[in-house]
Amino acid sequence: MKFKGVADIGIIGGTGSDIELENAENVKIYTPYGRTSDFIQVGIFKGKRVAFLPRHGTGHTIPPHKLNFRANIWAIKELGVKYLISPSAVGSLKLEHDKRKFMLVDQYIDRTKKRMDTFYEGGQVCHISQADPFCGYLNTLFYENGKEMGIDIQKGGVYICIEGPRFSTRAESKMFRQWGGDVIGMTIYPEVVLAVEKEICYCTIAMVTDLDVWAGNCPNCGIVEYGEKCEKCGDPVEKLAVSIEEILETMAKNEGNLKRLLETVIPRIDTERDCRCFHSLDGAII
């Protein structure tokens, strides 16, 4: 089959983002960068042509530091996708971002180490802008609809992307808070950069599943920054830590809200409009 134009909207995600497509077909795309995380399911959703790729493969078998980001984004572009939605589980770095909150992040700080993060490795040199990495149109659309639906959702925030698969130390978590991070995760980088290099609109729906490890529990004051004693009352503080069980439990509770949000917003995406994201390479290639 010819792939170009098969889909206008793409989703790279996992639990809660696997919406049911009509006339669905599993497509295998061969890329110059190797295999994608899985087959890409393409079909129709509420009148829109949609492609869905499970980021970590069927059964969540690929760890974040082993994801073939370039193959995934190259294949998504090959399908003709213009708008890419990336739901992502994250930890909170601020007390006001409680579990089950949604955030449309607009900035990131890259703390990864070993990931191939460009399609331009020679022949052509590309200095892609990342001043505003995420699509403002998609962020606004999801935010406004989420608010109308009564979902705890925030527009804007800083995503700290770490290499993984390990979680942070308490010292690292506190440092990321001092840097101004709002949430922490392992997946959006270099996914966002590669999407921009392919002139695709990219949006991350960050879903808070835990409080990372900066937090502790004071019997008097509640959640505080961890230390041997509470800075507010002086009582001992109980250590809190991230667990897979906690993350999966919160994701399961959030699944319904994520599906409702996708079901509401996807039909409202104007796939015929022009966007600054479609012109990302203008002036970027030498």
Check if the beta carbon of residue 198 is closer than 8 Å to that of residue 119: yes
Position 17 scores a pLDDT of 79
pLDDT of the residue at 231? 84
**pLDDT single digits (tens) 75-84:** 999 999 999 9
Adjacent-strand bridge partners of 122: 124
pLDDT in the model for residue 279: 98
Alpha carbon distance 81, 36 (integer Å) = 15
Backbone angles phi, psi at 238, to 5 degrees: -80, 135
Check residue 14 and give its pLDDT.
74
* 212: annotated active-site residue: yes
Task: For residue 102, give both structure tokens.
Answer: 């949604």
Residue for token pair 């409009």: 273
Averaged pLDDT, groups of 10, the chain, 286 residues long = 80 82 94 97 96 93 96 98 96 94 98 96 94 98 97 98 96 97 97 98 96 92 88 88 87 90 97 97 95
- Per-residue pLDDT, 76: 98
pLDDT for res 252: 85
Cα angle: 153, vertex 206, 5; to 5 degrees: 105
Q: Find the catalytic residue in 38, 106, 182, 210.
A: 210
Residue 210 known to be catalytic: yes
| Catalytic position from the list 106, 110, 182, 212 | 212
What is the per-residue pLDDT for 3? 67
Closest CA to 16 of 204, 236, 252, 229: 252
